[in-house]
A and B are shown apart, each in its own frame.
Chain A
């Protein structure tokens, strides 16, 4: 629980003339569940996109698993991409493939496992997220909560040591959301997977978060960092206190 698996330094993102955030620096340690908090428009999802090399930053750098995300290309970049998994906000499952085929796809693309072995592995991953019975369904035939769980199953396909989850519990009922939180906790404990979770669901933050940072649209950067269970009491920043106490700021 010591080495930094993600290193973010002085990151800034601008769209045109408007600055989303700047001077963002933090570390994520191996094996922890790291939560990125913030209200709507604070740049949480943008930060995630910069970390997984989708949106280029205006300044600063990101190192994932020892590799500079924005300095690597070709084989080095592919090797890095095989070691991270992403669960997208709306699942982003391939609509023309069944859930089983969705999970098998990265395995077929990046491993030499035989088709039978692939099917068995995909069955295990779908079982891990409780979707065994829906293996042959298309993404358009299942509910929103199931889509998110299937998204996690696909992100887990190559057993990456680092998983990014974008709003895993947004739009889910409390029971499904709690189930998802338990799943994340379990995977983190039993597999040692590091999670970076972008969310604004308070219950979920307190349940799973080991450490968190909080972004703010007005401050254009990090306004708090630490244990989410203590931030609400310890932080002097009014927005942080308001967030954790569910007050209108």
Chain B
């Protein structure tokens, strides 16, 4: 294209008709320069327009599209003098442009759209419930016959969701403990009540923040990974292949992941809380409180119910995050966006779910008097 002679446009009037004479190669490069001008010139011709191509040596499809756009801009315009190879390309592109375009689907009325939206929401809720039910059935069946569980798969997921998250959990826990102790020590000092910092930090970590923060770590690290892995398998039709081989994807793919979430979460939560307590102890020692004071406060005010309550909650969070991640992956659509969407909805859904569950547990524990 480059280095070829330029397409030239000459305009002349002849017997009231406007003649647009082109010369040289009408290719993409020429079309870039000529498009606006040629179409304008053709549109301005009132008494008939003729596109004279006798000096045109070659056209490409973009050039042909330009010539035809100019022809269409002036009603009754004619193309003359095209050499056979030029005419052949023009004919081909003319036929291509004449093919009927996409049929726009009419927008349904508002009521119909609201209707469809409502039904979609209902179906999504029903599917989600169905997934939970299916997972519980498989879980129950595995409890009766543990041989169905793929031990190796479970170990892999325990490692990926658990042991590999330990460093991050420890770091977050320590920082949380330090920050909480520091922030609460300042207002408590005004009442001379700094000695109660361990009670405050201990209770809030073990009951609330430990499970919640561990849940956020699990949703971000593991829930998204479940969704991306299962989403890619769904897009590649591997899940469909499993189903047709008579292997239940629930038992093979979902169960080990959900179980891993269930088992790993209490561990992560406890680890995060203990690291937080260590961080708090460090801050207290800076304020001049010896280790013995801190442990005394803790053992007096924090009891086993607080610890166990937090662990039960964490296990429930782990189950929810694992299930939501797997469900997002298995429900992935087609195309490259689907996997990204699945990972996003796994993380968002996981975090929303643990906060909602946290509220449920708060009411439950209050009723039970824990």
Contact = CB atoms under 8 A, between A and B. Distances in A.
Nearest to B69: A120
Nearest to B91: A190
Interface residues of A, number: 36
Interface in A163-209: 186, 189-192
Contacts of A113: 31-32, 35, 62
B69 A117 contact: yes
Interface in B57-81: 58, 60-66, 68-69
Contacts of B97: 120, 123-124, 127
Interface string A82-110: 01000000000001100000000000000
Interface stretch (A5-13, A134-142, A238-246): A134-142
Interface string B19-54: 000000001100110011000000000000000000
Given A113-B35, A128-B93, A186-B92, A159 B335 contact: no
B99 A127 contact: yes
B99 A111 contact: no
A123 B95 CA distance: 11
Given A95-B337, A125-B61, A139-B335, A114 B35 contact: yes
A117 B73 CA distance: 13
Nearest to A137: B102
A124 B28 contact: no
Contact of A132 (B35, B100, B336): B100
Nearest to A135: B102
Contacts of A117: 31, 35-36, 65-66, 69
Contacts of A95: 335-337
B189 interface: no
B35 A140 contact: no
B92 A134 contact: no
B300 interface: no
B256 to A, nearest CB: 30
A158 B27 CA distance: 9
A113 B37 CA distance: 12
B65 A120 contact: yes
A124 B65 contact: yes
Pick the most buried of A95, A112, A113, A126: most chain B CB atoms within 10 A of its CB.
A113
B233 interface: no
A132 B62 CA distance: 16
A139 B235 CA distance: 14
B246 to A, nearest CB: 27
B304 interface: no
A83 B27 CA distance: 12
Interface in B96-132: 96-103
A127 B102 CA distance: 11
A136 B102 contact: yes
A156 interface: yes
Between B1, B89, B93, B102, the greatest number of chain A beta carbons within 10 A of the residue's beta carbon is seen for: B102
Interface string B313-346: 0000000000000000000011111000000000
B99 A130 contact: yes
18 contacts: A95-B337, A113-B32, A114-B36, A120-B69, A123-B97, A124-B65, A128-B92, A128-B93, A132-B100, A133-B100, A134-B102, A158-B28, A159-B1, A159-B60, A159-B63, A190-B92, A191-B60, A191-B89
Interface of B: 1-2, 27-28, 31-32, 35-36, 58, 60-66, 68-69, 85, 88-89, 92-93, 95-103, 333-337
Interface of A: 79, 83, 95-96, 111-114, 117, 120-121, 123-128, 130, 132-140, 156, 158-159, 161, 186, 189-192
